[in-house]
C-alpha cells in the first residue's frame, strides 16, 4: 500500500530532525521521498507479545518498544581513533574517560601544531554531536571526520563528548552530561591535570562550547546553566544549525498540524513527556528575558536557507541582540542548503567556508596568544633554560608584566587570563603589572572622557578593525570596567601600577580602572602616577624630557622594590 502524502511528508520531517546527515541529503530533492517500504498489514493481536509492542517508531532511525528495548537503525557505525595522527590532516585522536564516577567519555583531537609548538596552549572546543538526543556518538564517522577537521583548521584541542542518549536516558540526562564534561575539561587544563593532552595544551581561559543540531541546543543550555549556578562563563558558544522548536509556528515554519505534531512527539519522547514544546530547553524564545544570563562573551549562530530550524536560528540571533546580553554575536547563513549539510557534503566549497567560519571563532586575538606564549617562554627559561641570561639571572619570584597603550591592555588581559584558570609553565606567578597610559575604551563616556561622537566612533572603528569585528566596544578585553567585580578580583598579581597623562583621551578610563579594581575586593596594592599637561605615551616621543625622566624613575622604582 503506498504511503499517503501527509504520512510521507511527516516521515521526511522526522528523519530530518533525528538524523541530521540524512536530512541534509533529502533537501537535494524536490519530490516526496518514500523512506520505507509500504507497511505490512497489522499482525493479529494474539500473535504479539509484550516485547514486540512499539511505543515509538522513527522509521529508518529508531524504534522504542513498550518493554524499554531500543533498536537504532542509524548512527550506530563507528570508526576507531587515530592516536598516531590522521593521514589526511595529521590530527591525533584518542578515547578518554572524562568522569569515571559518571562513566562519561569523550574522543579527544590534538592538531599537529601542538607538536610543532609544545609550549603554546590552544583553545579548547567542547563539542556535542547532533542526532536529536537519540542517535550517533563521538565515534560516528561523520562526527569523527568533522571534529578532526575542526581541530586542524582552528587549531584547537577538540573534546567530542559521548553523552547519554534518549529514550533510555531522557532529558535532562544529556544536559547533565554536557555540564559535567565542561567542568571535567576545565579542571584537566592545568599542569599535572588528569588528561595529558589537556594538561599540556589546553587553555582553560579559552573554552568554546560547540555543537550541531541537538548538540547546539546542548551548548546553549549549558551556557545558560553556567550563570544560573554562578560558575565561570566560557569564552563563547558556536551553535551550528541549532535544534530549537515551539508550539506556535514562527515565520515561514510549516503550519500543518501533522508536521508540527511529529516534531512535538519526538521532543516528548526525548524528555519522557516531562517538558512541553515551549519549555526553554527546546524553545529559548519562550523566555528571552533569561538570555542576558548566557554564560559566555561571544555567540556564533550558523544556519542554512533550507534548514528546518532556520526561522528559529534567526529569531534566536535577533533575540540575543535585543535582550540586553552584553556579548558579541556573529551569524552565518548558507544559501541553498539544508540542515547540517556540511556533514555529508564535507568536501564541498560551502562546507569548507562554514568550517572556516567556525574555526575562526577564536575567543582571543592573536596578540594575546602571542604574548601568553612569550610569557610562558620566559617562565620556562628562567627556571631551566636553555636561554642563559634568563636561566642564570632571572628571578621568577619577581616576575612583572609591563606595557604601554595597547601593550598595557595586553598586560591586563594576561593577568586576567592567569587568574581564570590558565597556569604558567613551572607554576610561575605574576608578582605585579605596570600599565603605562593603558588603552581601554567603552561605549559610554567615563568621568571627563570626550563626548564628541566622531572621536568616540573613531576609537570604536579602530578596535573593530584590530579584532576583525569579533568583539564589541564593551567587551572586557577593551573595557575592563565591563568586567563584573567578582571576576575582576581574580587579577593574578599582588601589585598594580597605573600611569596616566593629563591630555590623554584614555586618562579618565585609566583612573576608573584603578578605582574599579580597588572596589572589586581584589586584595593587592594599587599605585597611580599622573603627568599633567602631556599626551598619550609622551615619554616615547620625548624620552629626554624631565617629565619622561620622572616617569621612568617611577617605573624603575616600582619594578625594583623588594
Please give the positions annotated as active site: 405
CB 297 within 8 A of CB 475: yes
> Which cell numbers hold the place of 285?
524564545
Burial of 357 (0-12, 13-18, 19+ CB in 10 A): middle
DSSP per residue, 58-117: ETTTEEEETTS-EEE-SS-------TT--TTT--EEEEEEEETTTTEEEEEEE-THHHHS
Kindly state the DSSP code that residue 325 receives in the 8-state scheme.
-
Measured between alpha carbons, how far is residue 484 from residues 70, 299, 430, 438, 494 in Å?
47, 19, 22, 19, 19
Q: Distance from first CA to last CA of the chain, Å, rounded?
A: 89
Q: Which residue has the cell 537503525?
A: 73
Backbone angles phi, psi at 505, to 5 degrees: -60, -20
Burial of 76 (0-12, 13-18, 19+ CB in 10 A): exposed
The residues, ordered by sequence, that sit 6+ positions from 108 with a Cβ below 8 Å of its Cβ are 93, 94, 95, 96, 157, 158, 159, 160, 195, 197, 198
C-alpha triplet 334, 340, 342: angle, nearest 5°? 75
Cα(352)–Cα(556) distance, rounded to whole angstroms?
51
C-alpha triplet 449, 455, 461: angle, nearest 5°? 115
CB 336 within 8 A of CB 306: yes
CB 119 within 8 A of CB 425: yes
Other residues' Cβ atoms within 10 Å of the Cβ of residue 478: 25
Kindly state the DSSP code that residue 483 receives in the 8-state scheme.
S
Question: Side by side, which strands form the sheet with 525-531?
Answer: 400-404, 432-436, 495-501, 525-531
Q: Which residue has the cell 567542568?
A: 183
Other residues' Cβ atoms within 10 Å of the Cβ of residue 40: 7
Cα(266)–Cα(271) distance, rounded to whole angstroms?
9
Question: Side by side, which strands form the sheet with 70-72?
Answer: 54-58, 62-65, 70-72
The enclosing H or E element of 505 equals none
Helices vs. strands in the chain: H and E counts, helices first: 18, 15
| E strand residue ranges, 293-393 | 296-304, 328-334
Amino acid at each position: 500500500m503506498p504511503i499517503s502524502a501527509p504520512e510521507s511528508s511527516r516521515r521526511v520531517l522526522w528523519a530530518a530532525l533525528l538524523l541530521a546527515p540524512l536530512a541534509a541529503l533529502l533537501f537535494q530533492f524536490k519530490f516526496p521521498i518514500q523512506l520505507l517500504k509500504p507497511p505490512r498489514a497489522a499482525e493479529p493481536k494474539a500473535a504479539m507479545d509484550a516485547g514486540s509492542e512499539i511505543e515509538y517508531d522513527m522509521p529508518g532511525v529508531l524504534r522504542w518498544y513498550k518493554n524499554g528495548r531500543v533498536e537504532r537503525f542509524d548512527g550506530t557505525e563507528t570508526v576507531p581513533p587515530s592516536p598516531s595522527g590522521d593521514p589526511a590532516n595529521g590530527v591525533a585522536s584518542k578515547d578518554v574517560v572524562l568522569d569515571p564516577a559518571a562513566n562519561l567519555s569523550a574522543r579527544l583531537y590534538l592538531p599537529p601544531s601542538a607538536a610543532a609548538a609544545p609550549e603554546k596552549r590552544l583553545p579548547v572546543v567542547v563539542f556535542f554531536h547532533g542526532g536529536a538526543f537519540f542517535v550517533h556518538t563521538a565515534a560516528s564517522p561523520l562526527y569523527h571526520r568533522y571534529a578532526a577537521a575542526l581541530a586542524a583548521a582552528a587549531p584547537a584541542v577538540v573534546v567530542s563528548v559521548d553523552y547519554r542518549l534518549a529514550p533510555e536516558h531522557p532529558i535532562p540526562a544529556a544536559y547533565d552530561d554536557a555540564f559535567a564534561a565542561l567542568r571535567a575539561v576545565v579542571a584537566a587544563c592545568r599542569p599535572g591535570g588528569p588528561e595529558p593532552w589537556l594538561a599540556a595544551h589546553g587553555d582553560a581561559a579559552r573554552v568554546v562550547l560547540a555543537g550541531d543540531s541537538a548538540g547546539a541546543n546542548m551548548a546553549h543550555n549549558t551556557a545558560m546553566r553556567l550563570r544560573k549556578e554562578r560558575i565561570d562563563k566560557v569564552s563563547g558558544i558556536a551553535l551550528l544549525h541549532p535544534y530549537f522548536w515551539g508550539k506556535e509556528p514562527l515565520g515561514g515554519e510549516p503550519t500543518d498540524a501533522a508536521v508540527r505534531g511529529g516534531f512535538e512527539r519526538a521532543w516528548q519522547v526525548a524528555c519522557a513527556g516531562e517538558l512541553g514544546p515551549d519549555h526553554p530547553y527546546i524553545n529559548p524564545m519562550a523566555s528571552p528575558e533569561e538570555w542576558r544570563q548566557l554564560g559566555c562573551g561571544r555567540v556564533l549562530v550558523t544556519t542554512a536557507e533550507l534548514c528546518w530550524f532556520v526561522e528559529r536560528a534567526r529569531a534566536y540571533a535577533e533575540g540575543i541582540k535585543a535582550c540586553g546580553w552584553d556579548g558579541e554575536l556573529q551569524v552565518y547563513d548558507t544559501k541553498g542548503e539544508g540542515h547540517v549539510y556540511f556533514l555529508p557534503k564535507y568536501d564541498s566549497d560551502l562546507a569548507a567556508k562554514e568550517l572556516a567560519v567556525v574555526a575562526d571563532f577564536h575567543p582571543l586575538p592573536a596578540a594575546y596568544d602571542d604574548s601568553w606564549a612569550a610569557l610562558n617562554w620566559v617562565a620556562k627559561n628562567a627556571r631551566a633554560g636553555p636561554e642563559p641570561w634568563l636561566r642564570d639571572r632571572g628571578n621568577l619570584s619577581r616576575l612583572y608584566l609591563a606595557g604601554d597603550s595597547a601593550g598595557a591592555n595586553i598586560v591586563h588581559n594576561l593577568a586576567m587570563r592567569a587568574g581564570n584558570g590558565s597556569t604558567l609553565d613551572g607554576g610561575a606567578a605574576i608578582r605585579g603589572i605596570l600599565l603605562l597610559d593603558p588603552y581601554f575604551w567603552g561605549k559610554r563616556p567615563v568621568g571627563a572622557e570626550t563626548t564628541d561622537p566622531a572621536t568616540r566612533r573613531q576609537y570604536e572603528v579602530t578596535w573593530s578593525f584590530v579584532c576583525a569585528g569579533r568583539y564589541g566596544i564593551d567587551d572586557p578585553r577593551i573595557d575592563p570596567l565591563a568586567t563584573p567585580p567578582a571576576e575582576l578580583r581574580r587579577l593574578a598579581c599582588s601589585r598594580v601600577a597605573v600611569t596616566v597623562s593629563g591630555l590623554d583621551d584614555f586618562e579618565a578610563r585609566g583612573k576608573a580602572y584603578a578605582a574599579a579594581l580597588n572596589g572589586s575586593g581584589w586584595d593587592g596594592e594599587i599605585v597611580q602616577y599622573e603627568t599633567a599637561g602631556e599626551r598619550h605615551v609622551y615619554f616615547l616621543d620625548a624620552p629626554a624630557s624631565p617629565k619622561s625622566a620622572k616617569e621612568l624613575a617611577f617605573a624603575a622604582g616600582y619594578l625594583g622594590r623588594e
